[in-house]
Amino acid sequence: MRYALAACLLLLAASSFVDAKKKKVADDELGELLDNIDADEEKKSVEPAKNPCEDHQCGWGKECVVGKKGEPTCECISKCPELDGDPMDKVCANNNQTFTSLCDLYRERCLCKRKSKECVKATNAKVHLEYLGECKKLDECTEEHMAQFPERMADWLFQVMKELKKRRELHKLEWEELLSEAENDDEKKHVYPVIWKFCELDTKPHDKSVSHHELIPITAPVIPMESCIKPFLEGCDANNDGNISIKEWGKCLGLKEGEIQERC
Ligand SMILES: *[C@@H]1O[C@H](CO)[C@@H](O)[C@H](O)[C@H]1NC(C)=O
Ligand SMILES: *[C@@H]1O[C@H](CO)[C@@H](O)[C@H](O)[C@H]1NC(C)=O
């Protein structure tokens, strides 16, 4: 439950980017409106031209800006949304540096990558999100904890799935059906949630493998409470190629060979 809540926070944090983008679009529309005030009366089409940025996606810390030739370009966010200083907005980067918000972290990364004068520290070109909340001294990940981890994680995933089903947020009927099966079968109870989570993580890009980057949504909310999650998941990449396959994932989380099936 606590985990599900934390995951929601990440989603909330991500949505502040969307707001920033929306605001930009609104400003541009206003500009167009002003341009049109003195337009020729014969020009009947009041319909404003489609904003080139409307369908243009920019990565974290970036926003779409219309260039001189009317082309959409991704620039570093000029200003992150003002926050009310909630400590839960703070994030800890992989260099153990606290940033005010997720937006501030990725804005700084963008500025430093592009060698902007606004970049605070050149090495920040490589920062990324480690976990949500202020940087702190994490509990040690003991061997005992690590050994229990697959079991605990599979059980946690089962609980998350149940919670999502209750809220009708599982999105696919297939998963709802598999979960119902799992609820009545102790073996499947362990298996299906593990496979479900792999599919959830393997989205950007959807290529049947989970990269370090794709692990961030699962590790960021959990690391402050479970310091073993990161070393554990890193260990899942058995052949060390920087990607976790469904086979590696299943094996790592304690599934048997025959139980590991691709479902996404
Ligand atoms: C990270 O920063 C926190 C807070 O400043 C500190 O307590 C902790 O020991 C640091 N951790 C590491 C691994 O340096
Ligand atoms: C991980 O997989 C993706 C897609 O298959 C590939 O583009 C990328 O190079 C892989 N990463 C590594 C480190 O092998």
Mean confidence (pLDDT) of the chain: 82
- Residue 51 is given by DSSP the state P
CA of 184 to the centre of ligand 1 (A): 44
Residues lining ligand 2, Cβ inside 6 A: 207, 209, 211, 241-243
Percent of the chain with pLDDT over 70: 82
Q: Which domains does the chain have, with CATH numbers?
A: 62-132 (3.30.60.30), 143-259 (1.10.238.10)
Out of 56-65, 100-109, 187-196, give the one with best mean pLDDT.
Answer: 100-109
How remote is the CA of residue 234 from the centroid of ligand 1, in Å?
Answer: 21
Q: What angle do CA 194, 238, 142 make, to 5 degrees?
A: 75
DSSP 81-148: PP----GGG-EEETTS-EESSHHHHHHHHHHHHTT-TT-S-GGGGG--EEEESS--PPPP--HHHHHH
Instruction: Output the CA 3–ligand 2 centroid distance in Å.
Output: 29
> Which ligand has its closest atom nearest to the C-alpha of 227?
1
Q: Is the per-residue pLDDT at 201 higher than 80?
A: yes
- Lowest-pLDDT range of 32-36, 80-84, 247-251: 32-36
**pLDDT beyond 70 at 196:** yes
Q: Output the residue whose Cα is nearest ligand 2's atom 6.
A: 243
Ligand 1 atom at minimal distance to the Cα of residue 136: 3
Q: Is the pLDDT of residue 222 over 50?
A: yes
Instruction: Specify the residue with its C-alpha closest to ligand 2, atom 11.
Output: 242
- Evaluate the CA torsion angle 11, 12, 13, 14 in order and state its sign: positive
pTM for the structure as a whole: 0.73
Per-residue pLDDT at 142 exceeds 80: yes
Among protein residues, the one with the nearest Cα to ligand 1's atom 11 is 137
